[in-house]
Structure 1
Amino acid sequence: MDAIFHERQEGSLCAQHCLNSLLQGPYFSAVDLADIGRDLDEAERATMAEGDINSPEYLRFIQQPSSNMDDSGYFSIQVIGRAMKVWSLDLLPFGSTEAVEANIHPEREKAFICNFKDHWLTIRKIGRQWFNLNSLLTGPELISDTYLAMFLIQLQKEGYSLFVVRGTLPDNEADQLLNLIPVIQTIKPRLLSDLAQQQTPASTSTSTGESSSGKRLVSLEDLHNALQASQSSEARGTARGERLCSTLKSDNSQGLADAMKLSMQGMGDPSVDEKVDPEDLRRKRQAFFDRQQNQETRPSQGQVDSLQGEGHNTPAATHPHSQVQAGQPVLSEPTPEETNPQEPGAIGHSLETKLFANDDQMTEEAMLEIAIQMSLGGTQKLSSVSGTELQPQHGNGS
């Protein structure tokens, strides 16, 4: 479709566009057609002057404006016909006797020129297809052979005067190309007037800074200002970051100490911030030992039932770590906590019962440290306190 020569309307130069579309090239300009129009005016004036130049008809003729052209760019059918004579082409009225065949089989012709008031347009066959080359359209419009006759009848009903073009049209690239590859048109061209009406509201809203949808458009000046503001903001942020880095470097030691202090406070270690009352811890510890001793010395219900059933009432049988044999003394086997006191978590109920039965053997500092370790979950070793090894207290020679 791009190979087809088509001129869009400029001013009132539709006659120029019509001729160039017919010849498929920029063969005529407005100046060329104006020269042809002046030649026709001179020829008509000379014909009228053959009679009496003082006659009222001649005087009236020379006072009238030219009928072949005007200042707007309009040219008459005589100008178009004279221009076509240059290419040995003739124009025949569509209703004349010479054009009867064109009325019956219009698809067999080569081209038509149509005129309505001051507008001219060309309908031409390029390759094996027909096209409407109206300069008021955005581009060539494909017309099928079956629709061509109906289209010509429609133009006549709208008031157009039709002329059949006879003669040999000049060769052109579009004619050769479309003979090989026919055109398939999916989108029909639109009228330039409709396109202008659609663009006018958009241009009006653009001048006010708003689009057709009501949204404000962003101009290049707005984008430039926004870019400058972004760059200045980025520069200020960079300077602020550099000042912060220099401050941190100068106060590195103090900042590190403050951070460590805050970290220690956030840990919530009771041994750091909280004060411990030694008397309160001693009472709690003594009460805990008393409960443990009561649990160790009191036999379970199953052991009592077993002893009553066998008829034994030997106190040694209540010891959980003793074995009684006939004719042998009662021996107490060491517990795992006593054999491996260095093992973590070795503080059991039996060891806690034996440790520090008498508070007088403990120093104040040892009692405080034991109480702190017990409050932390009893997971640390109690084998030594302040460099002094603690021994279990044996009562009554046991």
Structure 2
Amino acid sequence: MDAIFHEKQEGSLCAQHCLNNLLQGEYFTPVDLSSIAHQLDEEERMRMAEGGMGSDEYRTFLQQPSGNMDDSGFFSIQVISNALSVWGLELILFNSREYQSLMINPINEKAFICNYKEHWFTVRKLGQQWFNLNSLLTGPELISDTYLALFLAQLQQEGYSIFVIRGHLPECEAEQILGIMRVQQQQRPKLIGEDQAQTSAGRLATLSQTEIGFNVQSDAVDEDEALKRALALSRQDIDVEDEEADLRRAIQLSMQGAVLTNASTDSSSGRVRVDSKAEGELRGNNEMLTADELRKRRQAYFDRQQQPLQSNIPSQENTTSIENSSTEVDQQQKPSL
């Protein structure tokens, strides 16, 4: 069907597309149709002036916009009729009493022009087959003979005005080719807007799938990162808890004097040596703690607890004497009277 001339919709120039698709060639331009419309406007103005240029009807007519064309590119049925009259073609209303009285089968006609809400399109017979040449379609649509009457009836129910084309249409290449062969249409054309919408929908669907893939990967990465952070925090909390437990045990031992009781001081190293039992409670990793290190850990623990533990510890003076003999002297403090 490449031989069939088919103008697609541009702006609101459906009247131009309708005429050119009917005549199967670029016979009319917007300028041509505008000239016809201005000519019709002038003829109407002259008829209104016959009733008096000072009349209210004439003033009202001058204030009204043109009924034959507008700025969008719409042209009236009068413009189309005058344009076709150049080719000796005539328009007859399909559902008029005049035409219906003829009882003519639509299959035996040559072409129809259809109009609904300022949209015009052509249905024409080329060779022995009918085609819908609507400019809103992506291409010509093949209409079977049995479906033609139903198609026209459906258009009438939808509010279309249908005009029968009478006269000799100009010769065209499609008429010659389809006069000796018939064509088949595997896939019907779509509306131009529908085709663009499906293309846009396909692109959006592809984009959405891509974004979903990115989001899934991003969510997986976020979950992994969150898990890693949670594990790190848990390990840190465990380390803090272990350290605080060691400090609590060390403080308790030091406050009870258990460490000092069982300890001996090495003046050369400055380290406090504890017996095996105290050493196991004070440290679990076999490391030797200096007095300064022990004091710093105590202070850090006190700071974390945010309360002065020293105020809760009763002050007392412990005097420990280390004698060379194996005799220990117990000193008891009596309360002063």
In the alignment, which residue of structure 2 is the partner of 1:38?
38
Aligned in 2, Cα 1:102/1:161: closer, same or farther, shift over 3 Å? farther
Alignment partners' CA distance in 2, 1:181 and 1:125: 14
1:144-169 Cα distance to aligned partner (Å, 9 max, x none): 11110000000000000010000000
1:233-268 Cα distance to aligned partner (Å, 9 max, x none): xxxxxxxxxxxxxxxxxxxxxxxxxxxxxxxxxxxx
Alignment partners' CA distance in 1, 2:27 and 2:95: 29
In the alignment, which residue of structure 2 is the partner of 1:117?
117
Q: Which amino acid aligns with 2:207?
A: S
1:255-292 Cα distance to aligned partner (Å, 9 max, x none): xxxxxxxxxxxxxxxxxxxxxxxxxxxxxxxxxxxxxx
Query: 1:205-284 alignment to 2 at 5 Å?
Result: 211=207, 213-214=209-210
Q: Any stretches of 5+ residues in structure 1 without a counterpart?
A: 217-398
Alignment partners' CA distance in 1, 2:140 and 2:65: 35
Alignment partners' CA distance in 2, 1:18 and 1:142: 17
Query: 1:124-203 alignment to 2 at 5 Å?
Result: 124-202=124-202
Contact 1:14 1:121 in 2 (8 A): yes
Q: What TM-score comes out, normalization by structure 1 length?
A: 0.51
Q: CA RMSD in A?
A: 1.9
Identity of counterpart residues, as a percentage?
Answer: 60
In the alignment, which residue of structure 1 is the partner of 2:108?
108
Alignment partners' CA distance in 2, 1:109 and 1:96: 16
Aligned in 2, Cα 1:57/1:184: closer, same or farther, shift over 3 Å? same
In the alignment, which residue of structure 1 is the partner of 2:317?
none
In the alignment, which residue of structure 2 is the partner of 1:330?
none
| Deviant stretches of 4+, over 4 Å | 101-104, 202-205
Residue 200 (structure 1) shift: 2.8
Alignment partners' CA distance in 1, 2:147 and 2:51: 51
Alignment partners' CA distance in 1, 2:33 and 2:103: 30
Q: Any stretches of 5+ residues in structure 2 without a counterpart?
A: 213-337
Higher relative contact order by CA 8 Å / sep ≥ 6: 1 or 2? 2
- Helix, strand or coil for the counterpart of 1:214? helix
- Helix, strand or coil for the counterpart of 1:81? helix
In the alignment, which residue of structure 1 is the partner of 2:22?
22
**Number of positions where the alignment pairs a residue of Structure 1 with one of Structure 2:** 213
In the alignment, which residue of structure 1 is the partner of 2:85?
85
1:307-351 Cα distance to aligned partner (Å, 9 max, x none): xxxxxxxxxxxxxxxxxxxxxxxxxxxxxxxxxxxxxxxxxxxxx
Alignment partners' CA distance in 2, 1:212 and 1:126: 45
Q: Which amino acid aligns with 1:95?
A: N
Residue 129 (structure 1) shift: 0.2
1:123-147 Cα distance to aligned partner (Å, 9 max, x none): 0000000000001111000001111
- Helix, strand or coil for the counterpart of 2:210? coil
1:49-68 Cα distance to aligned partner (Å, 9 max, x none): 11111111100000000000
Alignment partners' CA distance in 1, 2:203 and 2:102: 46
In the alignment, which residue of structure 2 is the partner of 1:366?
none
Alignment partners' CA distance in 1, 2:161 and 2:94: 8
Larger of the two Rg values belongs to structure: 1
Q: What TM-score comes out, normalization by structure 2 length?
A: 0.60
Residue 195 (structure 1) shift: 1.0
In the alignment, which residue of structure 2 is the partner of 1:11?
11
In the alignment, which residue of structure 1 is the partner of 2:99?
99
Residue 98 (structure 1) shift: 3.5
Alignment partners' CA distance in 1, 2:210 and 2:103: 53
- Helix, strand or coil for the counterpart of 1:164? strand
Q: Which amino acid aligns with 1:214?
A: T
